Structures are given as C-alpha cells and as structure tokens.
Amino acid sequence: EDEQIVAEIMRRRFFPAVITHKAWEGFRFAGHEIRITEATDCYGAVVWPSALVLCYFLETNSKQYNLVDKNVIEIGAGTGLVSIVASLLGAIVTATDLPELLGNLQHNVLQNTKLKCKHQPSVKELSWGIDLEKNFPRSSCQFDYIMAADVVYHHPFLDELLLTFDHLCKNDTIILWAMKFRLDKENQFVGRFQKMFDLDVISNFPSLNITLYKAMRKGRMKV
C-alpha cells in the first residue's frame, strides 16, 4: 500500500518537455497544473517529497479536512506548493518563510493562484521565534490550520521552531505536519513537540521515511 500511494503521489509531478533558462517543476493537484520555479542554491527553494505528501493528503481528504474559507498559515513555505494547493482548495492562506526566499515564493504563489482561487493568498516574512507577537499578534491572528512540510532538518533553530508552533497555535488550531526522518537530533524534536501538543500519525510512508502528523494543543477544552 505504501509503494502504491507513493507511486500515485510521484505521478503528480511532471517536468518541462524542453530545457528552459529557468528551472521549474510541474505538479498536478486540486484540478490544476502548478508550475514551481526552483532555486538550487538553498534548501528552501526546492520542492521536497514531504510537500508532495501533504498536498496529496489535502486533495484526497478535502471532505474531512474542508479548507474552504479556513484561515491557513504555512511555515517554511519554501517554493509555496503546499500554500498554493491549500489556496486552490478554497483556504485563506498566509505563506511564510525567511526574507531571502520571499521573492521566489511570491512569484510561485501569484503565478499559480491569480484568478484561480476564492481567496488570493498572501506572502509574509516569518523568521522562527523572532518578533512573533509584533508580526502575528495573538489577539488578531486566528489560524484554523498550520501547515508544515519538512521544516525539521539539519538546522540550529529547533527551539525557535517549537516557539513558533506554540505562538501560532490556538486551542482549536489543527497542525498538519509532514516530516522526513533523517538524524537523531531532528528526530528527538518529535518528543519535545509531544510535551506541548497531542500528536497523531495520519499516514506513514516507510519508502520515503516520511510521516504525516496531525497535532493539537494539549490541555485544550474538548467538546
């Protein structure tokens, strides 16, 4: 089953028929062909398999996780694929990343969503752990979903990442997080995350070493 689903996910990717001066990859999600311009000089400007796993989940579970008119923020949006798919599925999306990635992110989001979405997504700078209350005040930023694909990798900002999840997440916020397991330090982040959030495995893909999680804040009021 894992191999069949992974094969279906990977079939959503296509490449230009001829070589162009700009590197791009194509994807088919939410009834649209999505063209993503990439850069090879930084991790954040490449589409990683975790993003494809999350996009496939959003599309194939659109009834259970109905994004229409929902407020969604993607952290570490990179090339913007997840934000684009969420927008095409009807969400009100804020795509965020580091300032040096915003130009390419804005280009991809605009190119693939203009006149195609119910709500035009926005692109905003978010450096994990920095000026969170100033840029995303708790009183006015109410997100139904936080999306994250492959945000835990070899970097020294895991404390700041956890702080960012904590700041953005309200009692009823759902976190959808696709993670590729690589190194022990990054893998231990899951244990730290679980001290603050209830974590459930939605899907597991051993062939990709990727797990898709759903999380919500611990201690929330349950109906």
Please indicate, yes or no, if residue 155 is contained in any of the structural domains: yes
Which pLDDT does position 43 carry in this prediction? 60
Strand partners, 28: 33
Phi, psi of 195, rounded to the nearest 5 degrees: -70, -20
Residue 48, number of CB atoms within 10 A of its CB: 18
Domain limits at 194? 1-217
d(CA 82, CA 166): 21
Please indicate, yes or no, if residue 223 is contained in any of the structural domains: no
Please tell me whether residue 19 adopts helix, strand or coil conformation: coil
Please indicate, yes or no, if residue 110 is contained in any of the structural domains: yes
Please indicate, yes or no, if residue 126 is contained in any of the structural domains: yes
- The two beta strands, 174-180 and 145-149, are parallel
Which pLDDT does position 40 carry in this prediction? 61
List the pLDDT tens digit at each of the 223 positions of the chain: 799 999 999 999 998 877 767 778 999 999 999 999 987 666 667 899 999 999 999 999 999 999 999 999 999 999 999 999 999 999 999 999 999 999 999 999 999 999 999 999 999 999 999 999 999 999 999 999 999 999 987 678 899 999 999 999 999 999 999 999 877 777 788 999 999 999 999 999 999 999 999 999 998 655 4
Give the predicted TM-score (pTM) of the model.
0.94
Token pair for residue 155? 């970097």
Which pLDDT does position 117 carry in this prediction? 97
Residue listed under structure tokens 């949006």: 77
- The two beta strands, 32-37 and 71-75, are unpaired
Which pLDDT does position 188 carry in this prediction? 86
Closest Cα to residue 129, out of 110, 101, 154, 151? 151
Please indicate, yes or no, if residue 222 is contained in any of the structural domains: no
Residue 107 belongs to domain with CATH number: 3.40.50.150
The total number of structural domains in the chain stands at: 1
